[in-house]
Structure 1
Amino acid sequence: MSDDTLAKDTDVTVTPQRAGRHRSGPSAAPAGGGGRDRYLDMLRCVALVRVVAYHTFVWPWLSLVFPSMGVMFALAGSLMARSLKRPALSVLRGRLRRLLPPLWLFGAIIALAMMLKGWAPEEHQVGRWWARMLLWVVPVADPPHSAWGFEATEILWYLRTYLWLVLLSPLLLWAFRRAPAAVLCLSAVPIVVFTTVWTVPEGQAGIVLLDLATYLACWMAGFAHRDGLLDRLRPALVVSCAALAMAVGGWWAFGHRVDGSYDLNEIPLGQAFWSVGFVLLLLRFRPRLDGPARIRALDRLVVVFNSRAITIYLWHQTALILSVPLIDHLWHVRAFELSLPLGNMWFQFGVAWVLIAVAVALFGWVEDLAAKREPRLLPSR
C-alpha cells in the first residue's frame, strides 16, 4: 500500500491473505538507502498476482510456493522501520491517511450494495448495528457485513492486521533495536503459545490476536532487513535459520491439515514459520534487476501495481465475484460460446484482471488524493 499500506511512498508500498482464507534504481537498493527499491516493488507485484491467483484457483500449494501475505507484511515492516526515522505521530498519521480513504470508498460502495440487497439491523439492535458500522471507518476489528457481502469483505482481515501492526510499530521497533536478534526470535513465540498452550478467546478479540501473532515475525523480519541485521549475518546462518523455520512450518502444516488440506492460510502456526523462513531468504539474497528495468512495459506495470496496490487488493475479490455472472452472460452469445474457453478457470482469471483494471481506473485516484498527489487515471513515476 503506499506510505504504506500495501506500503509505498516516500517509502515504497505494500499490500496484500487470508485473502485467501475462506472463513481469504535498476538494481536493488541497499536496505538503508533512499529512493525506491525495485526489488521490493517487484516482490509486491508478484504477491498481488499470487493473491488473485489463489482466490481464483484455490490451489493450496500456492501458499507454499509463495506465501504472499507474509511477504507483504515483511515489506510493510521494512518500510515502517524506514519511516520511523521521523517522529512517530507524523508517521502514524501518514500511514492512516494512505490506508483509510481507499477503504472508506470501498466500504461506502459495498455497504450500500449490501443494504440494497436487504441488509439491515434487527429492530432491537439498531443502535449497536450503527455503532459497529464505525469499524468501516477505522477497522480495528472486522467491519460488519451481510451473508451476501461476506466474500467481498473477507479480505479486510489484512487491512485490520496491518493497521494494528502499524499502531504497535513504535513500541516494537523500540524493543527490536535494543536486542535485535533476540526480539526477532521471540516474535514467533505468541503464535506458538496461541496454538499449543493457550487458546485465544472466541470472537473478534481472538481473531485479531491470532492474525497479529501469525504475521508478527514477518513484520519483525522487515525491521531486520531495514536495519541491516540480515546483511550483517553470514549467509550460511540466514539459510540455516530460514530452512529450520520452514521445516517447522511445513511439518506442522502437514501434521495439522484442515479437512485434509495443507493450505497454510488455514493453519496459523504453519503459516507463521513457513512465511518467516521464506521472507528471510527473500530479504537476505536480493538479485539485481537491471534486465527487467530495461523492459519498458514491465517497468510501467510495476509502477502501476505499486501505486495502486491498495485498490488492487481491495477490489480483486469483488472482481472475481462479478466475473462469474459476466461469464454466464457470455454463454448466451453463440459466437462467444464457440470461440472462447468460457468454462476454463484461466479465462475467469483473465476476466477478473480486466475488472480489476476497471476498478483501478474508477477508484485508484483516491490513492493519489490520500498521498497528496494530483489525481491521475494511471500513476506516473
Structure 2
Amino acid sequence: MADAGNAGATPAVASSRDPYLDFVRSWAIMRVVAVHLLGIAPIALLWWPAPTFVAPGMPLVFFVAGALALKSLDPWRKRHATPKEFWLDRFRRLLLPFWVYLAVALTITVTLDLVNPGAAFDIDYRRAALTAVPLLNPLTSPAGYLGMVHLWFLVAISWLLIAAPGLVWLHRRYPRLLLGGVIAVALAVPLLGIHTAASFFPEISSIALFAFFFVLGFWYTDGFLVGGVVPGRRTGVFDGWSGAAIAGAAFAAAWVVWQVHQPGSINDSHLLHGFLGLGWLALILVGRPWIARLANAMPRTLNTLNRRALTLYLWGWPTTAMSAEIVRWWGLNGAFGTVVFFLLAIASLVAAVAIFGRVEDFAARRTTSSTDATRSVKADVAPSPVQGAANA
C-alpha cells in the first residue's frame, strides 16, 4: 500500500467521533437483524439466500472494531489507552450485556432440562459454565442451541480484542507484514481445511477470517484506505476507480468460489464470506464522502442505534427464532403467517431492547443525559484515541 512504511506516522486529531464509522456499524447490525428475519420467515422472501450476499454485516463490524482499537491503543498518539485500560473498557462493555443475556438463556435452558426428561434437554453443565467467558463457542443443550448459535461473534471479537495491543504493536512496526500475515491465515484456514482438522477449536475459522477485516480497520484509521480520514492525506487505496477495481476483483473471486462450492448462503463458506465482505467494504469505502454526509444528517438516529448495537445483536436472533416457533405452534403459514411473524419478531425485539438496553448504557458508563454522541461532527477527521474508545 502507498506510504505503508509511514503507517506509524501520527495522524492529527480533531474530533471525538467519526460518524461514517457510526453509520457503517449501524448498517451492519441492522442488516444482521434483517437477514435473520428473512432467513427464518415462513415464506422465503427476496430470493433467499440472495440477501445473505448483500453487504454482509460481520466484516463491517470487525472493520469498525479494528479502526476504533487503533484509535484507542495507538502509541504514536499523545493520548492513548494502555492495554489494561483498553481491555477493561472493551470487556466491561462486552461482558455485562452478554452476562445478562446468558442469565436469561441459561434460566430457560435449565428449566427445560428440569421439566423435560428427553436427551434433547440434557445440559452439558461443564461446557455451559465455560460460556461465561466467551473464548469457546457457547454450548448448553441441544434444545438450547438456538439461543446460543449466534454467540460465535462474541468469541471471535473477544480473541481479537485480547490480541489487539499486540496487533497494534505489529502494525506500527511491520504494517505490511501484519496485513500480509492475516490475509495468508484467512486464506489458509479454509483452503487447507485447518478449521475442520482443528475440531478442538473450531472457532479458529471465524477468528482467522475476521482478523483480516479487524487489521484492515487499522489502515482506515491511518488514512491509507480513503482520503480525508487524516488531515493532510487526500487520497487512499480505495478512493475512486482503484476502490471500484478492488471491489470488482473481490466479487470475481467470490463468484469463482461460489461456482466451485455452491454454498447455500454466505455463511456456508468462509472464503465466499471473505471475498464478498471485501468487495462490499471496498464499495462502502468508495462511497465514504456520500455516506459521511448522510451520517452527519442523522446523528440522533445513529447515536440511538450505536448505543444499542450489542443489545440488538444479542436479542435479535432469539426473538426472531422464538417468534417463528410461536407462529409454527399457532399453525400459521403462507402470507398471513409471514406477516404475523414479522410483527411478532419486531415487537419482541423492541421489547427486549427496551428491557435490557439500559444494561449496555451501564456497561459503557453512559448517562441518559449524554449528548456528545448526538452532535453532528464532520466525518472527514478521526476520533481522538481516548474519547473515541469511550464513545464507541
For residue 361 of structure 1, what is the amino acid of its counterpart? A
Could you say which residue in structure 2 is the equivalent of 1:69? 58
Could you say which residue in structure 2 is the equivalent of 1:90? 85
Q: Give the counterpart of 1:280 among 282, 305, 312.
A: 282
Matches within 5 A, 1:91-240: 91-118=86-113, 129-200=124-195, 202=197, 205-231=200-226, 232-234=235-237, 235=239, 236-240=241-245
Q: CA 1:31–1:256 in 2, change beyond 3 Å: closer, same or farther? A: farther
Cα distance in 1 for partners of 2:327, 2:12 equals 45
The share of aligned pairs that are identical, in percent, is 28
Per-residue CA deviation, residues 292-337 of structure 1 (Å, 9 max, x unaligned), is: 654xxx64332221101111100011111222355468889xxxx9
For residue 111 of structure 1, what is the amino acid of its counterpart? L
For residue 55 of structure 2, what is the amino acid of its counterpart? F
- 8 Å contact from structure 1 (residues 141, 204) kept in 2: no
- 8 Å contact from structure 1 (residues 221, 279) kept in 2: no
Q: TM-score, normalised by structure 2?
A: 0.75
For residue 342 of structure 1, what is the amino acid of its counterpart? F
1:151 Cα shift? Answer: 1.2
**Looking at both structures, which has the greater relative contact order when contacts are Cα pairs under 8 Å and sequence separation is at least 6?**
2
Could you say which residue in structure 1 is the equivalent of 2:258? 253
Q: CA 1:224–1:280 in 2, change beyond 3 Å: closer, same or farther? A: farther
1:363 Cα shift? Answer: 0.5
For residue 55 of structure 1, what is the amino acid of its counterpart? H
Matches within 5 A, 1:209-358: 209-231=204-226, 232-234=235-237, 235=239, 236-258=241-263, 261=264, 263-288=265-290, 289-290=292-293, 293-294=296-297, 299-324=299-324, 326-327=326-327, 342-344=336-338, 347-358=340-351
Could you say which residue in structure 1 is the equivalent of 2:31? 50
- 8 Å contact from structure 2 (residues 23, 295) kept in 1: no
1:287 Cα shift? Answer: 2.4
Cα distance in 1 for partners of 2:191, 2:12 equals 35
Q: TM-score, normalised by structure 1?
A: 0.78
Q: Say what the alpha-carbon RMSD is for the aligned residues.
A: 3.1
For residue 369 of structure 1, what is the amino acid of its counterpart? F
Q: Which runs of 5+ in 2 are unaligned?
A: 1-10, 40-47, 75-80, 118-122, 227-234, 375-392
Per-residue CA deviation, residues 7-48 of structure 1 (Å, 9 max, x unaligned), is: xxxxxxxxxxxxxxxxxxxxxxx9965322222222222222
For residue 266 of structure 2, what is the amino acid of its counterpart? L
